[in-house]
């Protein structure tokens, strides 16, 4: 565990984000207070702005200074005044925001410096439930700290978006993850990064880690990094499936479906990838790329995670029969669709 921590720790950074946030405050006229100090009148609500500093963690993934972290660590980017990172060797550097994937909660920053340590990235597809895991980050701004546990589960999906993010294929761990750990690495016993620590489930936001934490698989992080290095941004994939809805029991009976799970296609854009592959209105999507979809939210989450050029295989019910169609996602041009 010590060797694994020492291998990754030099590349783990603490991120300080300074935002401009709106505030509302009560102002009392001092001249009025001079004569009527106890009066309920003489005050008014004013709007203003103030600076707010928040913290998180990140990971240096290239010698030229690219840093991988969570998108939610940065907050509302257009209101960011300053981005700074601090390294375990004591250096403090200004960082520049480059891009985000606003669906799966990843972002990338850039710093200018020499001799930057780079994290060794592993393969999240090789991990096993029960193996050791180390979560490294900057909890509560105390400085870089490790916590040790095991891999409690893999391929954890959240059908409902958590905030604005769709978390799928997540790694579950009981290694303590607290506020400030977000964006830091989840590491295996070999000292290889297998995930990006993202959030916890406690049942009560007032307490800290309860041993149920989740990390984005590093394989998803690698795809994100490849997209940024090749295109300079995250290209939004387009299927052409413009509207889907949950199936009702009455619709399931009418369409001769075995049950009311899946999502019914309401609208498909003409000449889109899905349209050209034969997807039509009233088709019911029950699976995507081998993964069962029980609701419209499941379908949205899976489709949003697919990249431009990736193949999408839809399992459909049509006219009471099950069949499959496949197509490759194209880049969205004018409008945003699923």
Catalytic residues: 72, 105, 182
Q: Return all residues near 135 (Cβ < 8 A) that are at least 6 apart.
A: 146, 147, 148, 149, 173, 175, 176, 177, 181, 184, 185, 186, 187, 197, 213, 215
CA distance 200 to 186: 13
Spatial contact of 293 and 285, defined as CB atoms under 8 Å apart: yes
Spatial contact of 47 and 28, defined as CB atoms under 8 Å apart: no
CA distance 186 to 193: 6
Question: What is the rounded end-to-end Cα distance, in angstroms, of the chain?
Answer: 43
The tokens 């990140």 sit on which residue? 58
The tokens 């998180």 sit on which residue? 56
Structure token digits, residue 245 = 């809805």
What SS3 class is residue 5? Answer: helix
CA distance 133 to 173: 7
Spatial contact of 107 and 69, defined as CB atoms under 8 Å apart: yes
- Tell me which residue of 241, 234, 240 sits closest to 266, measured CA to CA: 241
CA distance 200 to 173: 9
């Amino acid at each position: 565990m010590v060797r694994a921590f020492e291998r990754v720790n030099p590349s783990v950074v603490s991120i300080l984000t300074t935002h401009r946030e709106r505030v509302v405050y009560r102002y009392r006229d001092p001249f009025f207070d001079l004569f009527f100090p106890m009066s309920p009148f003489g005050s008014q609500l004013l709007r203003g702005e103030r600076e707010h500093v928040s913290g998180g963690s990140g990971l240096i993934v290239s010698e030229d200074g690219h840093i991988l972290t969570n998108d939610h660590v940065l907050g509302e980017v257009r209101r960011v005044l300053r981005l700074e990172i601090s390294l375990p060797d004591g250096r403090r550097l200004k960082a520049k925001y480059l891009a985000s994937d606003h669906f799966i909660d990843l972002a990338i920053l850039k710093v200018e410096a020499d001799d930057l340590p780079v994290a060794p990235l592993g393969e999240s597809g090789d991990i096993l439930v029960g193996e050791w895991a180390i979560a490294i980050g900057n909890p509560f701004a105390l400085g870089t700290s490790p916590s040790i546990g095991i891999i409690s589960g893999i391929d954890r999906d959240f059908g409902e978006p958590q905030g604005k993010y769709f978390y799928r294929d997540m790694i579950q761990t009981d290694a303590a993850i607290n506020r400030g750990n977000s964006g830091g690495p989840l590491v295996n016993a070999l000292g290889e990064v297998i995930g990006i620590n993202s959030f916890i489930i406690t049942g009560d936001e007032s307490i800290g880690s309860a041993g149920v934490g989740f990390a984005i698989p590093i394989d998803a992080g690698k795809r994100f990094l490849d997209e940024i290095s090749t295109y300079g941004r995250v290209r939004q994939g387009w299927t052409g499936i413009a509207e889907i809805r949950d199936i009702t029991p009455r619709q399931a009976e009418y369409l001769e479906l075995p049950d009311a799970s899946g999502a019914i296609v309401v609208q498909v854009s003409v000449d889109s990838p899905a349209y050209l592959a034969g997807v039509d209105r009233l088709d019911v999507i029950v699976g995507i790329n081998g993964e069962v979809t029980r609701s419209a939210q499941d379908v949205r989450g899976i489709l949003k995670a697919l990249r431009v050029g990736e193949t999408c295989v839809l399992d459909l019910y049509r006219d009471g029969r099950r069949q499959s169609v496949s197509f490759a996602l194209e880049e969205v041009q004018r409008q945003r669709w699923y």
